[in-house]
């Protein structure tokens, strides 16, 4: 007897069980397209059957490069049903960056959204493992680019009926995350790790069957995908998907759909508050608000509570490697512990340690480390970085933090100089390496500075070579030609020298302090690249 079959606990199983409980309830809505839980499950099974017929097998990697759509969600669960591995790709990356992920993951199939056709074709051309491209933007061949398979063809096949008895510890997805190195790391997450995290979200973040949730942050982000969409579908909630996160559209959907639950980084919450449409929108149903990626400014938090008096707020902190929620600051603590990342989530143990792995004292700075069943299995094809991340039997986050006497964690810096801008991770070293290509540049330090919209703005502090001049606009143009738009500096500051400690290390904290007010007065200085 196959015990895996009897005790199935995979991502698709959670959807199947919701469809059994709520077959006629609305599962997903996007624009004028509605799918009940039964209809969505059946769609996923049809896509799974077609993928299997195309030769996709358990363990094969299926990449997806697309903005938010119901079809994105269908691919996600279809891939899980057959035991293949999903590789979501950030659509803001350029061709070179996209090709790296496709090549490194060894993806056999690439699913492509409406706005990503040219990039997908160019990136796939550099990856011999890519055998086929699926066009998600249309239901028939007439609107499908040459050489791609229309998604409609995948929906017309018979239901997937094979039962491979997938082990819950088998990989479900590889999420690529920027590190301090130029090459991103592929975090391998099992079905079990993701589902442990779903349970933590259901309990700690109070995601519930009665919720109507608006999903606006890109689904390639594990935050939107695995903290909200997946748990909401597991709970049996009502879900609205959009690929347009402009303030006007979000406020319209929040009002028209009477949305009760919404997640966004602080940048988006700020844009909603500043919108001329905010006070004219009926947001009376919005009772649960979530944020993450960066700390919510206290004054903004107070404004949210003032203008939405019935809302309760949660801050979710974590890493892709934690699937991704590690700690959570709950509504009762938002103002009392303002700036805190909260306490460890239900299935997570968190410590703050020194370089030898020993606990630091209360209020002392150390590295944040975790132990949890939610953790990644490994970094794909990277045993050295895997071993380093798990040194001492704990996962090393790379973040520096302090723990107070009540066990609340506050992140004070990022050990690996990661910048989080508009909810996106940017490696400072990656940007620095591109700027160092310019012959007129002697030294550069890339930092994140406070910004009224982006929360943190990528900023390059540059020293010119002797006898040379640095043109900030030229630096920005150079970066724009080689990096995804969100990685391009919002400003280039030219200085005579960079501050260093006695050993010669650049003191980025000093730079952040010295230039902290760069974007304080005018959001227009941001450049909005």
- What residue spans define the domains of the chain? 3-168, 194-414, 421-526
Which helix (H) or strand (E) is 383 found in, with range?
helix 383-389
pLDDT digits (tens, 9 = 90+) for 9-50: 999 999 999 999 999 999 999 999 999 999 999 999 999 999
Q: Name the average pLDDT for the chain.
A: 92
Comparing 470-474, 478-482, 501-505, which segment has the lowest mean pLDDT? 501-505
Contacts of 236 (CB under 8 A, 6+ apart): 18, 21, 22, 25, 37, 209
In the predicted model, what is the mean pLDDT of residues 437-450? 92
Q: SS3 string of 448-509? A: EEEECCCEEEEEEEEEECCCCCCCHHHHHHHHHCCCCHHHCCCEEEEECCCCECCCCCECHH
Its CATH class, for the domain covering 421-526, is alpha beta
DSSP 255-304: HHTT--EEE--HHHHHHHHHSTTTTTS--TT--EEEEESSPPPHHHHHHH
pLDDT digits (tens, 9 = 90+) for 482-503: 999 999 999 999 999 998 765 4
pLDDT surpasses 90 at 208: yes
CA nearest to 106, candidates 79, 130, 82? 130
C-alpha 451/C-alpha 460 separation (Å) is 14
Q: According to the model, what pLDDT value does residue 505 have? A: 67
In the predicted model, what is the mean pLDDT of residues 366-381? 97
CATH 2.170.120.20, domain 194-414, yes or no:
no
Cα-Cα-Cα-Cα dihedral sign, residues 63, 66, 71, 73:
positive
For 206, left (φ over 0), alpha (ψ -120 to 50), or beta?
A: left
Q: According to the model, what pLDDT value does residue 212 have? A: 98
pLDDT surpasses 50 at 524: no
C-alpha 334/C-alpha 342 separation (Å) is 9
SS3 assignment, position 222:
helix
pLDDT surpasses 50 at 526: no
Q: According to the model, what pLDDT value does residue 416 have? A: 64
pLDDT surpasses 80 at 395: yes
For 59, left (φ over 0), alpha (ψ -120 to 50), or beta?
A: left
DSSP 358-372: PBPPTT--EEEEEE-
pLDDT digits (tens, 9 = 90+) for 115-158: 999 999 999 999 999 999 999 986 566 689 999 999 999 998 77
The pLDDT-based confidence of 265 (bands split at 50, 70, 90) is confident
The answer to whether domain 3-168 and domain 421-526 are alike in fold is no
Comparing 39-43, 74-78, 430-434, which segment has the lowest mean pLDDT? 430-434
CA nearest to 266, candidates 207, 192, 317? 317
Higher pLDDT, 162 or 229: 229
pLDDT surpasses 80 at 7: no
Please state which of the four CATH numbers 1.10.260.40, 3.40.30.10, 3.40.50.12780, 3.30.70.2970 is assigned to the domain occupying 3-168.
Answer: 3.40.50.12780
pLDDT surpasses 80 at 478: yes
Q: According to the model, what pLDDT value does residue 384 have? A: 95
C-alpha 458/C-alpha 508 separation (Å) is 13
The pLDDT-based confidence of 180 (bands split at 50, 70, 90) is very low
Q: According to the model, what pLDDT value does residue 181 have? A: 46
pLDDT surpasses 50 at 459: yes
Q: According to the model, what pLDDT value does residue 1 have? A: 45
Q: SS3 string of 1-27? A: CCHHHHCCCCHHHHHHHHHHHCCCCEE
Which helix (H) or strand (E) is 379 found in, with range?
strand 378-379
For the chain, the first-to-last Cα distance in angstroms comes to 57
């Amino acid at each position: 007897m196959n015990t895996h079959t009897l005790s199935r606990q995979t991502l698709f199983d959670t959807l199947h069980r919701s469809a059994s409980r709520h077959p006629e309830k609305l599962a997903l809505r996007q624009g004028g397209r509605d799918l009940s839980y039964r209809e969505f499950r059946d769609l996923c099974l049809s896509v799974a059957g077609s993928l299997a017929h195309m030769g996709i097998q358990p363990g094969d990697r299926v990449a997806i490069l697309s903005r938010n759509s119901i079809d994105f969600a269908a691919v996600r669960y279809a891939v899980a049903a057959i035991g293949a591995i999903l590789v979501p790709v950030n659509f803001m990356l350029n061709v070179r960056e996209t090709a790296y992920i496709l090549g490194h993951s060894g993806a056999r199939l690439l699913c492509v959204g409406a706005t990503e056709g040219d990039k997908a074709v160019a990136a796939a051309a550099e990856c011999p493992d890519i055998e086929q491209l699926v066009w998600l933007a249309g239901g028939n061949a007439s609107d499908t680019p040459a050489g791609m398979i229309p998604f409609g063809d995948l929906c017309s096949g018979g239901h997937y009926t094979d039962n491979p008895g997938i082990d819950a510890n088998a990989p479900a997805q590889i999420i690529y995350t920027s590190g301090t190195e130029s090459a991103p790391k592929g975090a391998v997450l099992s079905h079990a790790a993701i589902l442990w995290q779903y349970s933590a979200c259901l309990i700690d973040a109070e995601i519930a069957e009665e919720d109507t949730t608006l999903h606006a942050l890109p689904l390639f982000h594990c935050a939107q995908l695995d903290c909200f969409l997946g748990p909401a579908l597991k709970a049996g909630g009502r879900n609205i998907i959009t690929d347009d996160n402009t303030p006007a559209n979000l406020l319209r959907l929040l009002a028209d759909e009477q949305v009760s639950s919404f997640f966004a980084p602080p940048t988006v919450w700020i844009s909603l508050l500043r919108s001329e449409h905010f006070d004219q929108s009926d947001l009376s149903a919005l009772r649960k608000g979530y944020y993450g990626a960066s700390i919510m400014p206290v004054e903004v938090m107070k404004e949210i509570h003032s203008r939405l008096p019935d809302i309760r707020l949660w801050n979710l902190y974590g890493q892709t490697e934690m699937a991704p929620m590690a700690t959570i600051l709950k509504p009762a603590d938002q103002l009392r512990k303002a700036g805190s990342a909260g306490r460890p989530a239900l299935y997570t143990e968190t410590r703050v340690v020194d370089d030898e792995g020993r606990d630091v004292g209360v209020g002392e700075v150390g590295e944040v480390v975790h132990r949890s069943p939610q953790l990644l299995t490994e970094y794909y094809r990277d045993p050295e970085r895997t071993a380093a991340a798990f040194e001492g039997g704990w996962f090393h986050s790379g973040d520096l933090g302090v723990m107070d006497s009540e066990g609340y964690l506050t992140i004070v810096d990022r050990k690996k100089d990661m910048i989080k801008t508009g909810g996106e991770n940017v490696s400072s070293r990656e940007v620095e390496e591109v700027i160092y290509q310019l012959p007129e540049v002697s030294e550069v330090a890339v930092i994140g500075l406070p910004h009224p919209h982006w929360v943190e703005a990528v900023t390059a502090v540059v020293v010119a070579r002797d006898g040379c001049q640095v043109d900030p606009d030229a630096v920005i143009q150079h970066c724009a030609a080689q990096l995804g738009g969100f990685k391009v500096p919002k400003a280039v500051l030219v200085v005579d020298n960079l501050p260093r400690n006695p050993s010669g290390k650049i003191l980025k904290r000093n730079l952040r302090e010295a230039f902290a007010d760069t974007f304080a007065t005018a959001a227009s200085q941001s450049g909005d690249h």
